[in-house]
């Protein structure tokens, strides 16, 4: 199989987005570059690039199946940066879910940008929630304090929330509209603000 053909096939697959015109222009450049690199390695070992891994296909189908439906409940514990240690009020608000882990380097690196988004949109009806993975969760409070997380953070102790949203990598971002329905899932940090602006423009 020619490398050029393999790369084009993968890029065509990556360009498939939600069944909604509102996301046609949003692309995950980080995932694109990562998949391309993996493709080159796979080609070197004689693997077929025409057959994506089964779990990848299932994960994409699971995320797509959530689109436009009421977002799964956030059954989280050990809330930080909230009043009284309780979940923040999200009724009628745009909610950004930041799925992260204490051991994830890119997650830690994205904290300053996410803090800026919180400050910029806090008065515009936008709530950002950091959903911490269960593995390494015992370090959530320490990590949040050490790296200055300013937005609400809570622990997904049993992994139910990660499972409900079909999350399979970190960091990962999901956007819930003010109507409580999932509008975007599995998008990059760079696309979060675009999604927020789009939803604010709909009001």
193: domain CATH number? 3.40.30.10
- Cα separation, 26 vs 159, whole angstroms: 28
Structure tokens at 6: 């393999």
Domain assignment present for residue 30? The answer is yes
SS3 state of residue 18: coil
pLDDT at 15: 40
Q: Is 143 a member of any domain? A: yes
pLDDT, one tens digit per residue, over 14-34 is 343 444 434 434 444 444 444
Range of the structural domain that residue 125 is part of: 77-202
How many domains are there within the chain? 2
Strands in 77-80's sheet, in edge-to-edge order, are: 77-80, 153-155, 126-132, 94-100, 172-176, 182-187
Tokens of 169: 């990598």
Tell me, what's the pLDDT at 86? 95
Mean pLDDT by 10 residues, the chain (203 residues): 44 41 42 45 34 46 81 97 95 97 98 98 97 98 98 97 94 96 92 95 85
Residue 100 in domain: yes
Q: Which two tokens stand for residue 129?
A: 């929630």
Strand, coil or helix: what is 25?
coil
> What pLDDT score was predicted for residue 170?
95
Looking at the structure, tell me whether residues 184 and 91 fall in a common domain.
Answer: yes
Q: Is residue 85 part of a domain?
A: yes
- Widest CA span of the chain, in angstroms? 59
């Amino acid at each position: 199989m020619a490398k050029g053909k393999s790369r084009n096939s993968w890029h065509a697959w990556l360009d498939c987005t939600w069944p909604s015109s509102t996301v046609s222009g949003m692309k995950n450049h980080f995932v694109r570059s990562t998949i391309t690199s993996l493709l080159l390695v796979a080609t070197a070992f004689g693997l077929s690039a025409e057959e994506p891994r089964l779990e990848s296909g299932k994960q994409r189908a699971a995320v797509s199946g959530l689109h436009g439906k009421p977002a799964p409940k956030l059954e989280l514990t050990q809330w930080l940066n909230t009043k009284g240690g309780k979940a923040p009020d999200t009724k009628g608000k745009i909610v950004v879910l930041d799925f992260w882990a204490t051991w994830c380097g890119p997650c830690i690196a994205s904290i300053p940008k996410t803090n800026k988004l919180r400050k910029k949109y806090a008065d515009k009806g936008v709530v950002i929630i950091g959903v911490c993975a269960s593995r390494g969760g015992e370090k959530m409070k320490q990590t949040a304090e050490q790296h200055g997380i300013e937005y609400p953070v809570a622990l997904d102790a049993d992994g139910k929330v990660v499972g409900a949203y079909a999350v399979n990598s970190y960091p990962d971002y999901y956007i819930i509209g003010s109507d409580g329905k999932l509008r975007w899932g599995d998008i990059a940090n760079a696309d979060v603000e675009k999604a927020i602006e789009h939803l604010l423009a709909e009001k």
